[in-house]
Amino acid sequence: MRFTRRSFLSLAGVVCLAHCGSSPSAGSSASGDGGDCYPDNDGITNVPETVDVVVDDRGFYPGSPDSGAYADAGMKTVIATQNSSTVTFTLTNRGTQPHGFEVECTSVLSVYPSLPAGCSSTACFPSDSTIAPLAPGATKTVTFVTPVPDNLNYPFKSSAPGDAKNPALNGSDGSAWSLM
């Protein structure tokens, strides 16, 4: 697992899209390689990961609450894992208000421009990757499988309605989950 703070290697810009209903395995073959819709770009999948993130009133930060890995407000966070992999994700709220976590859908067309008929042009994280707003001091862990389409950035934000006006929590700062 790698976290990158600041600009993320000039990967394609991330367009925040409304949540969609595509499943992470849409178009995948039995082997999980993405089949005809989303062939794997690096040949690596199914790499279990543990990801710990702290959220507070200023943004998201990598690491567990006791790691001291706090960064300057306004810096984006990028979480990087492999596609088609089981992730155990823990979110800890160190803020004074409720904060949650959700990954938005993204277009796959920058990486898969010629999709076969029937393949979705958007990809989404599974619904079990979303964490409802947590009270201050609370921690929650979820386990899910990342989507098949890789080489994409999936924007993330807090799922708390009160965070909609905070750029460090509403996804407009460029924070993203990158699937390799």
Place of tokens 């964490």: 131
Give the per-residue pLDDT at 178: 95
Type of residue found at 125: F
If 0-12 CB within 10 Å is exposed, 13-18 middle and 19+ buried, where does residue 31 land?
Answer: exposed
* HSE (side-chain half, CA atoms, 13 Å) at 175: 27
pTM: 0.78
Domains belonging to the chain, first-starting first, are 2-179 (2.60.40.420)
User: CA dist 91 to 29, 32, 66, 106, 118, Å?
Assistant: 32, 27, 13, 22, 35
Residue 25 burial class via C-beta count within 10 angstroms: exposed 0-12, middle 13-18, buried 19 and up: middle
User: How would you write the pLDDT of the chain (180 residues) with one tens digit per residue?
Assistant: 444 433 333 222 322 222 233 333 333 333 345 678 999 999 999 999 999 999 999 999 888 777 655 554 445 678 999 999 999 999 999 999 999 999 999 999 999 999 999 999 999 999 999 999 999 999 999 999 999 999 999 999 999 999 999 999 998 888 999 999
Give the neighbor-by-neighbor strand order of the sheet with 131-134. Answer: 2-5, 77-81, 176-179, 152-157, 99-103, 131-134
